[in-house]
């Protein structure tokens, strides 16, 4: 999955590298989701 998400021809050489990239992808996705949520709820009181 990591190779596919990053457009790599081959998967990372080691499992540790693959795990590190997966963590980075998850972190980036979470930040993007949080930013989208903030924009969507901007100006709403709750």
**For residue 25, what pLDDT is reported?**
96
pLDDT digits (tens, 9 = 90+) for 2-46: 999 999 999 999 999 999 999 999 999 999 999 999 999 987 765
Q: Provide Rg for the chain, Cα atoms.
A: 15
- DSSP summary character for residue 1: -
**For residue 44, what pLDDT is reported?**
75
C-alpha 17/C-alpha 22 separation (Å) is 9
């Amino acid at each position: 999955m990591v190779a596919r998400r990053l457009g790599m021809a081959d998967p990372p050489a080691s499992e540790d590298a693959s795990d590190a990239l997966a963590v980075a992808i998850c972190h980036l996705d979470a930040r993007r989701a949080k930013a989208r949520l903030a924009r969507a709820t901007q100006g709403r009181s709750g």
